[in-house]
């Protein structure tokens, strides 16, 4: 066999192999070029394509500098795809039909002239079916579409159009405020607690011992309230929201003061706090008086709610408000009771009154958590866990005593609080451990951590050093 015969044999084998590969590709769905063509359309109007160009790539900006032989090419993202279509319309086409050519032209004109919002189809632009690229959504016309009508072409109209692919249009969606959901669930909890108190007192024998026990339970709760609002921490918290160094000493803001006379403002804050504490004490006396008429449960419930609100009003700092209400929720009296009918009436009265008092405070605690602005993701998680632990305890008590309405209301409050804290806390930065070799001033650490010295006061509040010029070597700070 000669050399040319061998070459022809090898070429034949390669040709047969290529035909086999093409057959396999066709069998697997790849198809040929002609088989992959689709009927083109724009805005639902079909047409024939004479030629088409497609442009794409990346957006780039070239930065040139004096006395440098190279440039820096900055990537600005993906370039929008551009399509230039040279097509034609055929009257009663054998391929796509279409009807009269004039009617086809009018439909195509209406499609490209429609503005977003005229219809659902035009809301996010037109849809282009490309002969080889397939369906392309959200395309818009760049410039006019041009039709060419020629006498020698007869029932054929040629046109040219340039299209640009864009992204879908997004519109704001109406959502419920998580704080409003917490407030509504707290109102539902109070209503369920009042109904439960009314049912509980309706089966208690109206005797003097039961009334005495109700007054005793209310007085003990009012004692807890007065101890909470009169402690040093509660009074000092009234100054914690003041700007300047005075606020920092009470665990509040360390931002420079812009007020003309901070001492006057401090005196006003203390006076307002004293007035709020006086209102809380007055509401406590009203609650004790309402306990003397415990067999009128609505008055007692309203007084308990007023007491919880007045205690919350004494706390200027939202964090301190959560602390005070948490103390009121942790009220579980368990006095020894005598046996017999009187003991049973006293025990039921004490349990019903204590439950009403706790649930009034829980409803206000849920509102306080919705008003609290956490400083970090970790702070939001800690506050959420603190509130949910108290709710879980009351949920278990309501379930054990068969108070289904209160149980369901407490579950809804818990769900609302968790959703609110997770939503707001998820947008905050996390805390991280920071370790440095030596004591450094707060502005230096701020520049190292955040590339700016303007957050030094924030670090001072978080670490509470002896002096801002000598920050501790180990502390926790926001990671961003």
Verify that 421 and 441 share a domain, yes or no. Answer: no
Count, residues in the chain? 480
DSSP 146: E
Residue 228 is predicted with a pLDDT of 85
46: β partners? 41
Q: Say which residues have a Cβ less than 8 Å from residue 154's Cβ, sequence separation at least 6.
A: none
Can you give the pLDDT at residue 222? 94
Q: Residues 122, 200: one domain? A: no
d(CA 95, CA 199): 79
Closest CA to 60 of 48, 45, 71: 71
Contact indicator for 125, 137 with CB cutoff of 8 Å: yes
Q: State whether the Cα torsion 388-389-390-392 is positive or negative.
A: positive
Residue 120 has pLDDT above 70, yes or no: no
Residues 269 and 220 grouped into a single domain: yes
d(CA 389, CA 295): 32
Cα distance between residue 307 and residue 283, in whole Å: 5
CATH number at residue 108: 2.40.30
Output the average pLDDT for the chain.
Answer: 84
With 90 as the cut, is the pLDDT of residue 118 above it?
Answer: no
Domain match, 91 and 123 both: yes
Helix-helix angle 208-229:297-314, to 10 degrees = 10
For residue 299, pLDDT beyond 80: yes
Strand 134-141 and strand 126-130: the pairing is: antiparallel
Same structural domain for residues 81 and 182?
Answer: no
Structural domain includes residue 42: yes
What is the extent of the structural domain holding 255?
178-426
Token output for 434: 């920071």
Q: Is residue 25 part of a domain?
A: no
- Is residue 265 within 8 Å of 253, Cβ to Cβ? no
Average pLDDT (254-282) is 68
Which of residues 118, 140, 165 is at a domain's end? 165
Dump pLDDT digits (tens) for 130-172.
999 999 988 988 889 999 999 888 889 999 999 999 887 766 7
From the CB of residue 117, how many other CB atoms can be counted at a distance below 10 Å? 9
Q: Is the pLDDT of residue 253 over 60?
A: no
Residues 407 and 439 reside in one and the same domain: no
pLDDT value, residue 182: 95
Task: Give the pair of three-digit tokens for residue 160.
Answer: 């040219």
16 located within any domain = no
Please determine, for residue 20, whether its predicted confidence score (pLDDT) is greater than 50: no
Sign (positive or negative) of CA dihedral 438, 443, 444, 450: positive
Residues contacting residue 292 through CB under 8 Å, at least 6 positions apart: 211, 214, 215
Per residue in 341-388, pLDDT (tens digit) is 888 888 899 999 999 999 999 999 999 999 998 989 999 999 999 999
Q: Tell whether 17 is covered by a domain.
A: no
- Shared domain for 283 and 247, answered yes or no, is yes
Instruction: List CB contacts of 342: < 8 A, sequence separation 6 or more.
Output: 207, 209
pLDDT band at 34 (very low <50, low <70, confident <90, very high): confident
pLDDT digits (tens, 9 = 90+) for 302-315: 999 999 999 999 88
Looking at residue 15, what is its pLDDT? 43
- Least Cα distance to 124 among 136, 134, 133 occurs for 136
Q: What's the pLDDT score for residue 7? A: 34
Q: Are residues 315 and 219 in the same domain?
A: yes
User: Comparing 264 with 383, which gets the higher pLDDT?
Assistant: 383
For residues 48-56, give the mean pLDDT. Answer: 94
Cβ contact 221:300 at 8 Å: no
Same domain, 206 and 289: yes
pLDDT of residue 6: 43
In a domain, 66, yes or no: no
Region 246-270 average pLDDT: 52
Which phi and psi angles does 156 have, rounded to 5°? Answer: -120, 130
Determine the pLDDT at residue 260. Answer: 44
Question: What does the alpha-carbon distance between residue 7 and residue 24 come to, in Å, rounded to a whole number?
Answer: 26
Which of 476, 464, 468, 465 has the alpha carbon at shortest distance from 436? Answer: 476
Q: According to the model, what pLDDT value does residue 115 have?
A: 74
pLDDT in tens, 204-215: 877 788 899 999
Give the chain's domain count. 3
Say if 369 falls within a structural domain.
yes
- What is residue 350's predicted lDDT score, i.e. its pLDDT? 92
Instruction: Quote the CA–CA distance of 445 and 172 in Å, as a whole number.
Output: 40
Instruction: State the average pLDDT over residues 396-419.
Output: 95
Question: Could you tell me if residue 18 is inside a domain?
Answer: no
Q: Show which of 165, 195, 225 is a domain's final residue.
A: 165
Are residues 403 and 268 part of one domain?
yes
**Selection from 323, 428, 419 nearest residue 375 by Cα:** 428
Widest Cα–Cα separation across the chain: 128
Whether residue 302 sits in one domain with residue 336: yes
Q: Is pLDDT above 90 for 14? A: no
Q: What is the DSSP string of 59-92?
A: EEEEE--TT-SS-EEEEEEEEEEEEEEEEEEETT
What average pLDDT score do residues 276-294 get?
A: 93
User: How do beta strands 156-165 and 474-478 pair?
Assistant: unpaired
Q: Which of 137, 165, 193 is the last residue of a domain?
A: 165
Give the other-Cβ count within 10 Å of 175's Cβ.
Answer: 7
pLDDT digits (tens, 9 = 90+) for 214-240: 999 999 999 999 988 887 566 555 555
| 275, 127: one domain | no
User: Is 45 contained in some domain?
Assistant: yes
């Amino acid at each position: 066999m000669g050399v040319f015969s061998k070459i022809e044999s090898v070429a034949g084998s390669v040709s047969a192999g290529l035909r086999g590969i093409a057959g396999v590709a066709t069998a697997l769905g790849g198809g040929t070029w002609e088989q992959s063509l689709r009927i083109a359309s724009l805005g639902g109007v079909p047409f024939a394509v004479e030629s088409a160009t497609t442009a794409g790539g990346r957006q780039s900006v070239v930065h040139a500098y004096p006395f440098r032989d190279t440039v820096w090419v900055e990537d600005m993202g993906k370039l929008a795809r551009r399509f230039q279509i040279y097509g034609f319309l055929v009257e009663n086409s054998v391929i796509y039909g279409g009807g009269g050519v004039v009617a086809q032209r009018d439909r195509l004109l209406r499609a490209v002239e429609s503005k977003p919002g005229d219809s659902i189809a035009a809301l996010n632009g037109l849809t282009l079916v490309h002969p080889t690229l397939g369906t392309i959504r959200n395309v818009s016309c760049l410039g006019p579409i041009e039709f060419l009508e020629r006498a020698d072409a007869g029932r054929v109209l040629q046109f040219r159009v340039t299209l640009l692919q864009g992204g879908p249009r997004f519109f704001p969606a109406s959502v419920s405020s998580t704080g409003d959901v917490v407030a509504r669930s707290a109102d539902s909890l109070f209503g369920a607690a009042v109904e439960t108190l009314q049912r509980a007192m309706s089966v208690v024998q109206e005797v003097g011992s039961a009334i005495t026990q109700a007054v005793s339970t209310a007085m003990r709760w009012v004692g807890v309230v007065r101890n909470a609002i009169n402690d040093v921490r509660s009074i000092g918290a009234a100054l914690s929201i003041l700007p300047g160094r005075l606020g920092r000493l009470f665990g509040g803001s360390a931002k420079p003061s812009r007020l003309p006379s901070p001492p006057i403002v401090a005196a006003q804050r203390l006076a307002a706090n004293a007035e709020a504490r006086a209102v809380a004490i007055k509401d406590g006396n009203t609650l004790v008086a309402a306990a003397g008429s415990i067999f009128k449960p609505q008055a007692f419930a309203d007084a308990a709610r007023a007491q919880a609100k007045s205690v919350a009003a004494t706390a200027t700092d939202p964090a301190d408000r959560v602390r005070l209400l948490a103390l009121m929720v942790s009220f579980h009296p368990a006095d020894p009771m005598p046996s017999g009918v009187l003991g049973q009436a006293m025990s039921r009265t004490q349990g019903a009154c204590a439950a009403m008092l706790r649930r009034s405070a829980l409803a206000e605690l849920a509102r306080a958590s919705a008003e609290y602005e956490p400083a970090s993701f970790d702070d939001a998680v800690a506050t959420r866990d603190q509130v949910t632990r108290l709710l879980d305890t009351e949920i278990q008590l309501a379930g054990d005593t068969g108070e289904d309405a209160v149980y369901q209301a407490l579950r809804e409050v818990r769900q609302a609080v968790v959703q609110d804290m997770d939503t707001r806390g998820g947008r905050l930065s996390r805390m991280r451990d920071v370790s440095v070799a030596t004591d450094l001033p707060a502005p230096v650490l701020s520049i190292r951590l955040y590339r700016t010295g303007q957050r030094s006061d924030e670090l001072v509040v978080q670490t509470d050093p002896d002096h801002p010029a000598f920050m501790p070597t180990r502390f926790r700070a926001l990671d961003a």
